Structure 1
């Protein structure tokens, strides 16, 4: 269902605006470019409406309706979110309102560049046929659309393109080829570096090989443009309140990635085998034992057919909080954010290994470092840029009251919900309050630097894929803008 009940916010946004600080990769950390503080991702996967929330025909996606983003950003601000991941985005859509709202409240955006349409992604069953100039033009348009938003944290060049041993044979070279092309396009056509990486399925037999393959440097060149800038892991191994750091396998994850030369984080987490979810893993993920992991993104924001939602978005645009939301907020509020926020970047200088077949253990994994050449037409695009692409820009935010009612799990209306502007350069943090009891925090002076303690013919399957989204599947945000409905 498209969110067509929402009104546009175009008249409410105009001009320039204060911005969050941009973030870059240094060693195994995401780092605030101005404060040099390490950023931990405290985020949520955001694809309201599932597959029906995206339509290239109407240029609609989760970031094209400002009233929806205002409503959700206000709730996220109270929750403590500082990053959203969006799976399906139309590069020709108008995202200025939503990007400006999330920027206003200190929330970064991580974007999958692929689409659940024919030619919109690499076909894992036949990758060579889908690696075309027209495909690359589509993902270069994504760069153009989001490169000027300071809260664009990064791009996922692929998502679960490797989802079993069979797909680990021919697909790895295409992951690196796409990353190379994206990074070269950004280098030549953007004013800043924007990280590009991969979101991996937790296929234990080839997981470590996938990471080693993507982080290594071909010919030992540390500036190898095909290397991943970051590695996201879709992890659902911690299930229920009886799980522990050891029983969940988190200890093995730490052991595997502690010497990573690039940031590693959970691009999806939140097992729902036990309901409601209690999210005890939050204390481990942002605790002392997992400082080598850069946080994570809870799957997912809105309730869809697969039953992972934190909130229910009703047909009339109102929102009802779920018990999962309350439990996650309680876990975020327990975190020692002072400790997290005071953690300076370790700037861990771990040199990437030189690419070699000896890095790969599984005989099922295609350890080929001879990458396919960029199609000639796409090479021209990389060199000269796209001449008629949609290019986004940040606007001022003037409306802050939420235009829809928000209800607690008991049906009580949450009163006075609005977004608050964070200080320039800062990001959102947990509010310390319980939104479900009807209370909200005054976050006008809060925020902190970004420091912190289906098998579709595409690169997607998993939790997100279950709802028809082809992409599958610490600290801070806030919400923005409003228009009252009759």
Structure 2
């Protein structure tokens, strides 16, 4: 018979394993930890292994394969990532293991609610026809699937729906309508407030108008559920090590968003023309000149035909670290993490402007702030909830060591790759320890195993551009330390499998 002390020790270990990250909240132009109130700045990666073409094929989504998530979470934890963005998720799948793995390593999630098939996203060419009850039920189901995870940072209501002046006419009211409906559903059925926002294309002719339209207050008082809680920008304007804060136009972005009343961040960045990428923009993005912005997400984790990947993955579960991973890690190490945690002194008592036509500068952009009413049946759906909705919860993470072969840029197999349980957001340098590589091996991951698929931006998104990226290895660049070959990275006591 178990003694009381044994039972209490067992219960304590279990509790330690399922201890979750603190939810992130929006406070004016910043994200912050809901418990510590420290500022939260996104150090992230866009994560969509398999690409949008994998949706609905039965091959799963980015957060449905625990073995894959364990491998990738371990590599992201070493890199210093604290946020991932997933463009296409299937709410009918079980995400508990993957989400719990990412939670355990200090990584939050931004989830796009749309899907890359007709009827499950807003059609930028005819938004009114695609704003339907069945569409809204789908995105509400995504909310149901992810609402209970504490590391769900927020939901993207749309991605690059507006990509020129013409699409800036009919679409803006529908983007606000979708945001309103999502936020009303969250308020009715989620255990906490979860931010909802939009990811914009970096088309300068409509960028400022898109942000101004979405962040303004369209009601009496502060409870306007149709306005964005945050604003993401897919920007590839900093290209190569000959660029700069001014050449890239980052200075213009800072000026544009200087008086923002919601968090603004780069939801995609990482130009790959020229190659290899230098990621010099990292120092600027997380430096003192850009404290108005809340960080960004590098496009993208998984290699595909567009050559934006940091890691090449294969269908047999193996992975090859690419040169861009090593370069990004070296740039992340230069970030002053203490600077990021400090609140922006200008972000105090900020009130959004009242919506009116004077906020819009382009004659072709919408000045119509009459937001469409929900389609028939949606009000009842919000009240009653999605029937038979999926539910998710943080579970105990019992696997910590990565069994799949992972190869460094020098061709040697990485040893000692494992996740390390943490209780706060991950950051560069926080958990780098104990990994080493052997000599270059002929048994490195081979393309003959077949790639795991391609990666792509979400529904309604313009495809990213850029010349082919280099996968050129820098010899030994992933060698983190010596003397630990073949040994697992130490895991905290609370992370032990029971």
- How far apart, in 2, do the equivalents of 1:229 and 1:464 lie? 28
What is the aligned partner in structure 2 of residue 28 from structure 1?
29
Task: Classify the secondary structure of the residue corresponding to 2:377.
Answer: helix
How far apart are the structure 1 equivalents of 2:331 and 2:490? 20
| Counterparts of 2:174 and 2:437, CA distance in 1 | 49
Answer yes or no: is 1:288 the counterpart of 2:288: yes
Q: Does 1:133 align with 2:130?
A: no
If asked which structure has higher relative contact order (CA below 8 Å, sep 6+), I would say 1
Q: State whether structure 2 residue 42 is matched by structure 1 residue 41.
A: yes
Q: Distance in 1 between matches of 2:49 and 2:117?
A: 18
Q: Which residue matches 1:298?
A: 298
Alignment match, 2:7:
none
Tell me which residue corresponds to 1:166: 166
Distance 2:278 2:435 in 1: 15
* Deviations 1:465-485 (CA, angstroms, capped at 9, x unpaired): 99xxxxxxxxxxx999999xx
Which residue of 2 is the match for residue 442 of structure 1? none
- Cα separation, 2, equivalents of 1:272 and 1:189: 42
Q: What is the rounded CA distance, in whole Å, between the counterparts of 1:346 and 1:83 in structure 2?
A: 25
TM-score by length of 2: 0.84
Q: 1:456 to 1:18 in 2, by over 3 A?
A: closer
* Maintained 8 Å contact 2:415/2:435: no
Rg larger for:
2
1:431 aligns with 2:424: no
State the distance in 1 between where 2:164 and 2:181 align.
25
Aligned partner of residue 373 in structure 2, secondary structure: coil
How many Å apart are 1:338 and its aligned residue?
3.1
Structure 1: runs of 5+ lacking an equivalent: 1-13, 440-454, 467-477
Structure 1 CA distance for aligned equivalents of residues 27 and 152 of structure 2: 17
Q: Please tell me whether the aligned partners of residues 239 and 273 of structure 2 are also in contact (alpha carbons under 8 angstroms).
A: yes
Check conservation: 1:414, 1:435, Cα contact below 8 A.
Answer: no
Map 1:198-347; keep pairs closer than 5 Å. Answer: 198-343=198-343
Task: Give the direction of change, closer, same or farther, for the CA distance of 1:210–1:335 in structure 2 (3 Å limit).
Answer: same
Separation (CA, whole Å) in 2 of partners of 1:456 and 1:279: 20
Partner of 1:475: none
1:269-296: CA deviation from partner (whole Å, max 9, x where unpaired): 0001111101000000000000000000
Confirm or deny: 8 A CA contact 1:415 1:438 kept in the other structure: yes
Native 8 Å contact 1:146 1:152 kept in 2: yes
CA contact (8 A) 1:45 1:299 kept: yes
Residue 229 of structure 1 deviates from its aligned partner by 0.2
Aligned partners of 1:227, 1:343: CA distance in 2, in Å? 23
The question of whether the paired residues in 2 share the 8 Å contact of 1:31 and 1:38 is answered with: yes
Structure 1 residue aligned with 2:197: 197
Query: Which 4+ stretches in 1 moved above 4 angstroms?
Result: 342-347, 432-437, 455-458, 478-483
Partner SS, residue 397 of structure 1: coil
The answer for the alignment partner of 1:96 in structure 2 is 96
Task: State the alpha-carbon separation in 1 of the partners of residues 187 and 358 from structure 2.
Answer: 31
Q: Residue in 2 aligned with 1:368?
A: 368
3-state SS of paired residue (1:198) = strand
Q: 1:464 to 1:238 in 2, by over 3 A?
A: closer
- Across the aligned residues of Structure 1 and Structure 2, the Cα RMSD in angstroms comes to 2.8
Matched residue SS, 1:320: strand
Q: Is the 8 A contact 1:67 1:482 kept in 2?
A: no
Q: Check conservation: 1:321, 1:436, Cα contact below 8 A.
A: no
Consecutive unaligned residues in structure 2, runs of 5 or more: 1-13, 439-455, 468-488
Where 2:274 maps in the other structure, the secondary structure is coil
**Partner SS state of residue 228, structure 1:** coil
What TM-score do you get using the length of structure 1 for normalisation? Answer: 0.86
Question: Do 1:278 and 1:327's aligned partners in 2 also have CA atoms closer than 8 Å?
Answer: yes
After superposition, the Cα gap between the structure-2 partners of 1:42 and 1:457, relative to the gap in structure 1 and judged at 3 Å, is closer
* Cα contact 1:121–1:130 (8 A) shared by 2: yes
Cα displacement string for residues 84-130 of structure 1 (whole angstroms, at most 9, x for unaligned residues) = 00000011111111100000111000000000012110101111110
Structure 1 counterpart of 2:76 = 76
Q: How many residues align?
A: 443
Pairwise CA distance, 1:165: 1.2
| Residues 158 and 198, structure 2, Cα contact 8 Å, conserved in 1 | yes
